[in-house]
Amino acid sequence: MAYTKRSDGRKFEQAREIKAKVGVVPNADGSAMFSFGDTVAIAAVYGPHQLHPQHLQNPEKGILRCNYNMMSFSVSDRIRPGPSKRSTEISKITEWALNKSVMIDEFPNTVIDVHIMIPQADASTRCAGINAASMALAHAGIPMRDIATSVSIGKIDKTLVVDVDKAEEDYEGGEGPTDIALTFLNSIDEISHIQLDGKISTKELKEAVKLGREATKKIYEIQKKALKQAVEGSR
């Protein structure tokens, strides 16, 4: 049976309901919340501040340090808190995805800490995390080339879908699920991150990137609106 209708009734190129808010962590230098339906990510940015131990310092430019973590209650089975193989990987991926957008050459010997927390997970957490982190970095006043926008494209059986949820990620049947996480820098037209989990042909991958580009444009508008509204509120 082909995947002709999405389990939650969405259109194939439709993302889940997106919510974005800036300034959710008062003690951080910058913070943001971003959610795709039931997937919620909170990012907090601290710095630039001095990096210790000293041997990690780079005298040429600043360092971005990301820390992704799922909370123990974020999924229905309790997840063991603390760093794991998976969260370490996602932290590193997030760092690479965002490194292209930040301009931290002016802050030698310093570090910018980005903490991403997932209080509720329903697949595509890394994408929500990158979106939140990117908004938090802008909110913290870090010079940037662009706001990074991330989305996951799935190939469920033979159908390409935008923003994979847990039910789709676990889909069994036909060719099975393929999950592609993509991060775009839309205004400067660059891709900063692409990850593929599953099987896909070259032609379909190109299709998926195209679909992702269109989807991130919509998400970008939501991020932009959230950042602008944070200031409008104080007028």
The footprint of other proteins (CB under 8 A) covers: 29-30, 47-50, 59, 101, 103, 107-110, 138-147, 185-188, 223-224, 227-228, 231-232, 234-235
Question: Toward other proteins, which CB reaches closer, 114 or 121?
Answer: 114
Question: Toward other proteins, which CB reaches closer, 22 or 90?
Answer: 22
In angstroms, give the least distance from the CB of 141 to other proteins: 2
In angstroms, give the least distance from the CB of 213 to other proteins: 15
In angstroms, give the least distance from the CB of 13 to other proteins: 24
Structure tokens at 118: 């997932």
Q: Which long-range contacts (CB under 8 A, 24 or more apart) does 196-200 make?
A: 198/155, 199/175, 200/155
Please state whether beta strands 190-197 and 63-70 pair in parallel, antiparallel, or not at all (unpaired).
unpaired
Question: Toward other proteins, which CB reaches closer, 161 or 185?
Answer: 185
CA dist 165 and 174 (Å) reads 18
**148-156 sheet: strands from edge to edge:** 159-162, 148-156, 177-185, 190-197
CB atoms within 10 A of CB 232: 8
Question: Toward other proteins, which CB reaches closer, 91 or 101?
Answer: 101
Q: Tally the C-alpha atoms within 13 A of residue 163's C-alpha that lie toward its C-beta.
A: 26
In angstroms, give the least distance from the CB of 64 to other proteins: 14
Question: Toward other proteins, which CB reaches closer, 2 or 103?
Answer: 103
In angstroms, give the least distance from the CB of 154 to other proteins: 27
